[in-house]
Structure 1
Amino acid sequence: MSTTQSERLRELLEPLVSSQGLDLEEIEVDSVGRRRVLRVVVDSDEGADLDAIADVSRALSAKLDETDAMGQGEYTLEVGTPGAERELKEHRHYVRATDRLVQFRLADGDDLVARILTVDDEGVDVEVPGVKGRKATARRLAFADVAKARVQVEFNRKETKDMKEEEEA
């Protein structure tokens, strides 16, 4: 059975990323002129700060240097986090997006923007913002009904009860 370079790299690097307390979210190999770029996206439930990214970057670089996983040519290693408008693909992504505003593309083709309230194994409970002075409404979305979901950037993010308690502590 043939495996792609990305799959081989994932098998090589995922245990190392996990040992650093992070999840390996994505691996991408791109050609930029004659050089190649290996982009590795990592995250965790608590997020990944610059120190964690630097540590995992050094560990990945050392591992790649001791193997021929990237071949003999030059390449650049870029390690980062998913970013503000991350696409939600895995269950853990939805959990990490709790209290965030998300744009959902539903399986029936409809679009919905709602805040994730809770996540379980079958789906998400969301709050759909009210329009023109109406109250927000609660709604249940099964994962099977979600074709695509992406976190939205909020400049005036709703303050939750948990956020207030953290600020007061």
Structure 2
Amino acid sequence: MSNVVETVKELVEPILESHSFYLFDVEFVKENKSYYLRVYIDKPGGVTIDDCVLVSDELSEKIDALPEDPIPEAYFLEVSSPGAERPLRNDKELKEAVDQYIHVSLFKKLDNQKAYEGTLLKVDEESIELKLDDAKQTVIEVPRELIAKSRLAIKF
């Protein structure tokens, strides 16, 4: 399956570059009895449905034009944005999220909580700093080794 993902990445990158988009992720998964090829794209300011349709059409054409089908199974192609609550998967994405509202899930409790939401103030190798949305606007330091998952969050 990783060959499918790598092949699709190679095919989609030039399409995305020509439209000033960038690739967030590609996944090829089986859910129930169906296979899904999911391509997540983004651009500054976010992508539109028309952007997704454009990339889907161009990628479909490129896949169909290959002499040998890289995906022998029947599948559904989905091109979309990673979403407003996209995961922050690595150090680069965390640093780009400084000054944004995020959700952090922890492996174990910190101050009696396993999850926090707040504005990301600082990221370094050891920890992150969050300003919580409580009455005191508390700033907490979360050790990086405690972070199980982090993502952008929508503040209600």
TM-score, with normalisation over the residues of structure 1?
0.66
Match of 2:131 in 1: 127
Relative to structure 1, the CA distance from residue 10 to residue 111 in structure 2 (aligned partners, 3 Å threshold; closer, same or farther) is same
Query: Residue type matched to 1:9 in 2?
Result: V
Residues 137-146 or 12-21, more deviating: 137-146
Query: Does the aligned pair in 2 maintain the 1:104–1:113 contact within 8 Å?
Result: yes
Query: Residue type matched to 1:50 in 2?
Result: I
Relative to structure 1, the CA distance from residue 43 to residue 144 in structure 2 (aligned partners, 3 Å threshold; closer, same or farther) is farther
Query: Does the aligned pair in 2 maintain the 1:45–1:96 contact within 8 Å?
Result: no
Match of 2:61 in 1: 62
Query: Residue type matched to 1:79 in 2?
Result: V
Relative to structure 1, the CA distance from residue 103 to residue 35 in structure 2 (aligned partners, 3 Å threshold; closer, same or farther) is closer
Query: Does the aligned pair in 2 maintain the 1:106–1:145 contact within 8 Å?
Result: yes
For 1:91 and 1:45, how far apart are their aligned partners in 2?
A: 19
Match of 1:78 in 2: 78
Question: Higher relative contact order at CA 8 Å, sep ≥6: structure 1 or structure 2?
Answer: 2
For 2:125 and 2:6, how far apart are their aligned partners in 1?
A: 27
For 2:137 and 2:104, how far apart are their aligned partners in 1?
A: 17
For 2:44 and 2:141, how far apart are their aligned partners in 1?
A: 23
How far has the Cα of 1:42 moved from its partner?
A: 0.9
Consecutive unaligned residues of structure 1, counting only runs of 5 or more, are: 156-169
Relative to structure 1, the CA distance from residue 65 to residue 119 in structure 2 (aligned partners, 3 Å threshold; closer, same or farther) is farther
Query: Residue type matched to 2:119 in 1?
Result: R
Query: Does the aligned pair in 1 maintain the 2:11–2:59 contact within 8 Å?
Result: no
Match of 2:151 in 1: 150
Q: Deviations over 1:114-139 (max 9, x none)?
A: 11246689875531222xxx421345
Percent identical residues: 29
Match of 1:160 in 2: none
Relative to structure 1, the CA distance from residue 53 to residue 92 in structure 2 (aligned partners, 3 Å threshold; closer, same or farther) is farther
For 1:89 and 1:30, how far apart are their aligned partners in 2?
A: 19
